[in-house]
Amino acid sequence: MSTYYKPSGNFSPVSFIYFILSALIIFPILALIYTYLIWYIPFIYINFFITAGFGFAVGITISQLAIKIGKVRNTKIALLFGLLGGAIALYFSWAIWVDLVINAGESYGNSRIGITSSNSKISQILGLALQPNLLFELISEINETGTWGLRSSTVSGIFLTIIWVIELLIVLVISIFTPYIRAKIPFCELDNKWFNEEILPAYNYIKNSKEMTANLENSNQQSFDELEDATNPENESHSIFTLFSSEKGESYLTIENKLAETNSKGEIDFKNNEFIEYIAINRTLKDKLLKK
């Protein structure tokens, strides 16, 4: 067994079926919800978080269906699914958004903030989605005039294009990264199932992470001897151990330090540092850890 877990690169063909079903059923629903939110919430800063949430929802869908149930242990396929999934979801969002622009009605508000009522028409959305040339032509025309303003000025042209590119990058980066992380989780090839994941009770903060890493790489239990239960993990620095176990006896460990810091509001925030990811541990180390 190697020192650190490495994905085998295998995958199940059924993962592609789950991805296609997600692209045809779930992504359009997520795109509809996302597009209506950014249409009716006229706050660009809030829309930034909504966009990130949209990318995360797409990524989680791919992770749970195509990657987890589809048993994808190939990070390249995970990246491909994430890229295609994010692009497809955004494409549906664009078709819905353009349809909202076409069917826009009365505007409400003032020169600083306002919303425009509109309703989607499924037949028009499908027509736009099935005619990419027409869709991008309309997007180009909308870009020239703009549909919304910022500080009493209509956003259009290069500035609007930059905002759209930022939106694209946010969604794609998150939708790609999430499935990639899922595909790296330990998988037992003999059992053909994912390792059992168990988050152990919080331990004291690991001050010498390099020493801990070196000891584990050499199957030395010395670092475990110094572990103590965290007294107040909600407010003090501590460490989190995540154990991955298989029925065949293999075990891997991930360790994350959480450094407590007080923010400007006097509240406790934690700075996370995952300094060990999926390191192999033998039965002796595993048993000692579980007895702590």
How many other C-beta atoms can be found within 10 angstroms of the C-beta atom of residue 118? Answer: 17
111: buried, middle or exposed (CB in 10 Å: 19+, 13-18, 0-12)? exposed
In the chain, which stretches have pLDDT less than 70? Answer: 1, 105-117, 146-156
Contacts of residue 272, Cβ cutoff 8 Å, sequence gap at least 6: 256, 257, 258, 259
What is residue 84's predicted lDDT score, i.e. its pLDDT? 98
Write down the residue that tokens 């694209």 correspond to.
168
What is residue 187's predicted lDDT score, i.e. its pLDDT? 97
What is residue 239's predicted lDDT score, i.e. its pLDDT? 97
What is residue 255's predicted lDDT score, i.e. its pLDDT? 97
Query: Which pair of structure tokens corresponds to residue 171?
Result: 């969604």
What is residue 37's predicted lDDT score, i.e. its pLDDT? 94
